[in-house]
Structure 1
């Protein structure tokens, strides 16, 4: 399975995902991954240039900041995240992060990427989770955490991506008792999907065995979900992703990311070594 995926990555992936795969499965260096991410960094400390494939163009955007933090987390490089924190402090001083900034209005982006400067739980929760996972703290994260708690407490309905973002936050936030209570509440929310084929799988909510959302499912349910993930490898060695490719190049960019994510999930759950 890994060998077939390796072949797919060498055929189709960007340098960043090739370096990430090498680090995850072939003993590649963490610094090589960090250097690949830094190629997308702007002078303002943020990130652009389609680091996150659905937001094209050069301007620093929250989606790219999130992806940079997540990649630094994958390789245990908290020291690389300093410029992102500074950029967040300057761009989102109240602690709430927009899905997209209006500075990208003249550049291509997926139709579901709203560049309206309006903060929301979707990005704020994921960025806060990524910072906590890196062991980073500070005044900006305190404000973001306050915002996330308030928005999670207010949720009466949600959609799959927002629900996943909330769970990601709850998995990492230090207040474990409050997180467990909030996760129990979220379990009973029915997410509304954007499109019929865009619902998320169980492992997207419980990406690791210790995740709070793992308790939402029985062992049999979750094992069947992992079976589906394991059998989702395509003939070319890669996995598919569950949303449209808004421009042709993102098809293989997202498939490469989905392929490494699938392998890492299967490894965390003991399906591969």
Structure 2
């Protein structure tokens, strides 16, 4: 199906109905902006509801982290959304987010903790309990380095930004285990925002990481794993050719998992705080459905 015909399909009508009527306000505004010509100002307003006075983001923006306090992880989620908008529209929120990240940078790591101790003030997924940083340093540090490079004019100095980028490249090439897919996604976001010379230094290990982290076998797609459509969400993705043979089946699988409600559901659960998880689950449906509609439109599927 050609991309311009997708919007007449049944899956599209179901998905659009869900996003318009049941999605969280933020994802509803993003859907309107990306698919229906809605204003960027509505996205900014919806995103602002998750912003704190320190410029960081929290308040459940990442549905598995329910505390009001800012976290580095939630702030990277906000920057993912802001990157979709014209820079001038998001300038105030971007500057605030970069200011928050600069303030909480820990030179002893060096880098950032994903979540603060304040995460324990509210229900959360067990994987977001506060703990010491692990081996996946690139999550979220590599992604953050990419944002600072993209918005370098608003950073404390170009030298500091270049140091962040260099640290991220060194970790990828020398220390990463190359088998953690969240870290991979952070490096892919970084690669979109750094100069070609830096991308060239990343390409070898990043290509190996994509191969190791992406599950090609359909029997593995039911669990919480990185699928080909997650590694290459558009045909323009740099690693498209590596997965071209399995992408049609993966896209079929994705279409088959849409519910009659028009949504897609998370492949995980907390295993605790069931009432709060029920609320988070509904929010995740908004996030996942919007992302899947993006993928399916990019591939002209429906």
Q: TM-score range by the shorter chain?
A: 0.7 to 0.9
Cα distance per residue 1:131-157 (max 9 Å; x no partner): 55xx31244543432232122112234
**Separation (CA, whole Å) in 2 of partners of 1:32 and 1:177:** 37
Question: CA offsets, 1:156-204, max 9 Å, x none?
Answer: 3422222332233234322232232232332453579xxx821111111
Matched residues in 2 for 1:108 and 1:261: separation?
25
- Written as runs of structure 1 = structure 2, the 5 A alignment for 1:1-273 is 1-77=11-87, 78-79=90-91, 80-94=93-107, 96-116=111-131, 118=133, 120-130=137-147, 135-137=150-152, 138=155, 139=157, 141-153=161-173, 154-174=175-195, 175-189=198-212, 197-217=223-243, 219-244=244-269, 247-271=277-301
205-214 or 220-229, which moves further after superposition?
A: 205-214
Name the CA distance, whole Å, in 2 between partners of 1:251 and 1:245: 10
Question: Structure 2 CA distance, aligned partners of 1:230 and 1:127?
Answer: 32
> Which whole-Å CA distance do the structure 1 matches of 2:184 and 2:94 have between them?
25
Contact map agreement 1:15 1:36 (CA 8 A) in 2: yes
Gaps of 5+ in 2: 1-10, 216-221, 272-276
Q: List gaps (5 residues or longer) in structure 1.
A: none
Distance 1:191 1:201, change over 3 A: closer
Deviates more, 1:107-116 or 1:52-61: 107-116
SS at match of 1:147: helix
C-alpha contact (below 8 Å) 2:119/2:128 kept by paired residues: no
TM-score between the two structures when normalised by the length of structure 1: 0.87
The two structures, once aligned, show a CA RMSD in angstroms of: 2.5
Does structure 1 retain, via aligned residues, the 8 Å contact 2:111–2:141? yes
Question: Helix, strand or coil: the match of 1:212?
Answer: coil
Deviates more, 1:12-21 or 1:45-54: 12-21
Instruction: Find the aligned partners of 1:136 and 1:99 in 2 and give their Cα distance.
Output: 21
Give 3-state SS (helix, strand or coil) of 1:17's partner: helix
Distance 1:204 1:191, change over 3 A: closer
- Match of 1:142, SS state, is helix
Give distance in 2, aligned partners of 1:60 and 1:159: 25
Larger Rg: 2
Higher mean alpha-carbon deviation, 56-65 vs 263-272, is at 263-272
Q: Aligned pair count?
A: 267
Q: Which has the higher contact order (CA 8 A, sep 6+)?
A: 2
